[in-house]
Amino acid sequence: MNCRSRRCPRIVCGIVAAVGEIDVQLCRNMLARIKHRGPDDTGEIRRGNVWLGHQRLSIMDVDGGSQPMTDTEEKTYLVANGEIYNHRHIREDLGHELFETGSDSEAALHALIVDGPVGLARLRGMFALAFMTADGEFLVARDSLGVKPLYWVRRDDVTLFASELRAFEPADRPLVESFPPGHCWTPNGGLVRFADAVPARVRPARRAEQPGVWDEALVKSVREAVVTAVENRMMSDVGIGVFLSGGLDSAIVAAVAAEYAKRHDQPLPTFAVGAPGSSDLAAARVVAEYLGTEHHEIVMTKEAAQAALPKAVRAIEHYDPSLVRSSVPNLLLAEYAAKRVHAVLTGEGADELFAGYSYYHEAPFTDPDALQAELVRTVEELHHLNLQRCDRTTMAFGMEARVPFLDRDVIELALSIPPEHKMLAPGRVEKQLLRDAFEGWVPDEILNRGKEQFGDGSGAKDVLEAAVRTSPDLPEGISLRSDEEAGFYSIWHSSFEGIRPETTLGHFATT
């Protein structure tokens, strides 16, 4: 199962791992339940009391790109989901002679071989991985933001890991927990943090001498950080597109991606979804025409949205109303786009970094320190909400979503900006600094377009509220915020009975 080819691709996949008293059939059953994350190939290996499994989507190098990946002497093994964006730098640091493939996952393998768990600090990207040696050493890790999902069950006889909740047997579901981002775990060392979602050195941000007045140097630094993050996520041997909602954030991503595509003489497909006549479809069309992209529109009918509702709840493994509303059109869009590209860029994270949501501008967040604390908190909680939707709706069809605004350098820069610069004032709207940074890159009408939730702009909100007007009976001890949420919870509970609400909702669970 070596990954020997020089053209081994980045891997879109799902992983399962186990350490302890191994039940191979149980592990295989778990892996089979997440086959949608990588329907083209299944790989597994057992060494002693450790088992690793991998579901792969073959993008290139079908014969040589399988995982588990191993070193030349077959003493170490790795399964990984996601991307290591700085893999070329790691190759240079460790020495190209160590590497046999072009895979970014191999950079993680050798970083761990050379440095042990400390090697995780080298990795910049989105990942969930499991690593073992032939003599039984074992490590699991998840990226600092939790862009890539990972769950675990700790039993007395075995510890189990998987990319999605659905992988676990019903008997294990009450024990399932979300594996914490930025942590690694070993049987001997336990759970150890290796990276923070928001590095401590950017908190609290410095205070602005002149709130709302920024110089061209700051505007340029924001623009350059975002451009670099988008371009790093464009490097691939496969087709890449952009989910274009018609809002500011996805328009910026599309604009940078379009410039990159033109320089490299490659097409840029963009994809938009909405109800007939929805504002999102109209705005996305304006952006696509301005940038000259290969644009695709999915017109979401009421019937299609309601039919997709239970599929969306099961796909995202979640029942938060705002998340479900946006997941339904996202799922329909992903199903269409996955037939044309293997990866898409999205605008996730910009609102949390630059204070795009309306509630950020209401009490108590009109105080700069309170606003800064809330921005940090919401970035740290993204793995429970938007990132969960982002991963699941795309991976339901074996397609990867990439989130350039959540690049580590962008996060560090954005959260080091004085919070006063993100607050509303006469003549300024939300995310004014970001708008200034990309003036001329997107149409003026989009640059000045106000924030609209994706579920609202796409037209999904009204359709889905009408679909769940009657509140179902809820399990004892569960109290929810609305009939709509109760309806979504009922769908979720029917598929994930036994899973505790806090496992998927984290801080937002209501019991």
Burial class of residue 384 in the structure, from the number of CB atoms within 10 Å of its CB (0-12 exposed, 13-18 middle, 19+ buried): buried
Q: At what angle do helices 321-337 and 483-495 cross, to 10 degrees?
A: 60
Distance of CA 106 to the CA centre of its chain: 21
Cβ contact 468:487 at 8 Å: yes
Cβ contact 320:492 at 8 Å: no
Alpha-carbon distances of 75 from 6, 35, 71, 134, 271, rounded to whole Å: 20, 27, 7, 5, 44
The response to whether 157 counts as a known ligand-binding position is no
Non-local (6+) Cβ contacts of 502 within 8 A are: 509, 511
The response to whether 273 counts as a known ligand-binding position is yes
* Residue 309 structure tokens: 């509702």
Distance of alpha carbon 145 from alpha carbon 396, whole angstroms: 21
Non-local (6+) Cβ contacts of 418 within 8 A are: 205, 206, 207, 208, 211, 368
One-character DSSP codes across 309-358:
HHHHHHHHT---HHHHHHHHHHHHHHHHHTTT-SEEE--TTHHHHHT-SG
CA torsion 368→371→372→378, rounded to 10°? Answer: 180
3-state SS class at 270: strand
Greatest Cα-to-Cα distance within the chain, rounded to the nearest angstrom:
66
Closest CA to 80 of 100, 53, 59, 111: 53
* Residue 486 structure tokens: 């109760």
Does 390 participate in catalysis according to the annotation? no
DSSP-assigned beta bridge partners for residue 345: 242, 402
283 sits in which H/E element: helix 279-291
Given the residues 13, 27, 184, 390, the one annotated as active site: 13
HSE toward the beta carbon, residue 77, CA cutoff 13 A: 26
3-state SS class at 54: strand
14 sits in which H/E element: strand 12-20
How many secondary structure helices (H) and strands (E) does the chain include?
Answer: 18, 17
The annotation places the binding site for L-glutamine at: 104
Q: Kindly list the catalytic residues.
A: 13
The annotation places the binding site for ATP at: 273
